[in-house]
Structure 1
């Protein structure tokens, strides 16, 4: 069985990361907002193509405020842009961390599941030949597959 991941993360390191993330949540709690899916859908978005345009807008608006409509307050525009510009690098960093954690969890879980299914098959075979203790283990573990029925693309090794 192929094993692409063989690491151990000390509980102290996991706890330190959890504490750091909790500290980030605490620090940012008074600054962040939560949007509904509908609000997210309806808002115009700044993306990689819009960001340079907005940088130019900010330069021009600060240097040439006479063109700002009366209902656009330069100070508020600047605050909004500063928040966006300040959060964006954090968001990109968090995306990298999330992707790496997600990939690592997926690989570790997959390897554990494949090995677990192999163990299950071994117990199943042992139960068929009445090996001591195998029947009880098999009956307990087989509950996982009871409601699934037979599938053509099953992830199990049955």
Structure 2
């Protein structure tokens, strides 16, 4: 079994990271909102491709405001642009952090689970040959797999 990750993060570093993230969350709390899945689905979305377009329109609207439709509130347009310009770098950094945390926890979790399964299979074999203490451990651990019996290859898919 290849060990692809071997880290020990000091409790102080984990606590400091958690406190820093909680501080970021607290600082941004008055400004962030939550959308419903339906709202997310129906909103026109600004992406990396449309961001330069919006930036250019902001410049044109500042230089040539006569073309701004009367139903577009220039103050709100500018406010939205400043918000997205300020939040996007934070969003990208958070995505990088989230991706790295996801990958690291996935790999560490996978390795821990494989080790746990190896232990479980070892104690299962030991219980089969009546090694002392193995049966009690096996009976306790096997509860995790209740209801997950082997399926017949000819059984219909659910």
TM-score, normalised relative to structure 2 = 0.93
Find out whether 1:102 has 2:102 as its counterpart.
Answer: yes
Deviations 1:133-152 (A, max 9, x none): 10000000111112111158
The equivalent of 2:55 in structure 1 is 55
Matches within 5 A, 1:8-157: 8-151=8-151
The structure whose RCO (Cα within 8 Å, separation 6+) is larger is 1
The equivalent of 2:155 in structure 1 is none
Aligned Cα root-mean-square deviation (Å): 1.1
The equivalent of 1:156 in structure 2 is none
Deviations 1:99-152 (A, max 9, x none): 000000000000000011110111011111111110000000111112111158
Aligned residues: 152
Alpha-carbon distance in structure 1 between the residues aligned to 2:114 and 2:151: 17
SS in 2 for 1:48: coil
Which aligned runs of 4 or more in structure 1 are off by greater than 4 angstroms?
none
Alpha-carbon distance in structure 2 between the residues aligned to 1:8 and 1:77: 48
Q: Which runs of 5+ in 1 are unaligned?
A: 153-158
Alpha-carbon distance in structure 1 between the residues aligned to 2:41 and 2:128: 56
Shift, 1:86, TM fit? 0.7
Shift, 1:7, TM fit? 0.5
Alpha-carbon distance in structure 2 between the residues aligned to 1:95 and 1:29: 18
Q: Which runs of 5+ in 2 are unaligned?
A: 153-158
**Distance change (3 Å), C-alpha of 1:35 and 1:19:** same
Alpha-carbon distance in structure 1 between the residues aligned to 2:134 and 2:116: 15
Alpha-carbon distance in structure 1 between the residues aligned to 2:147 and 2:10: 37
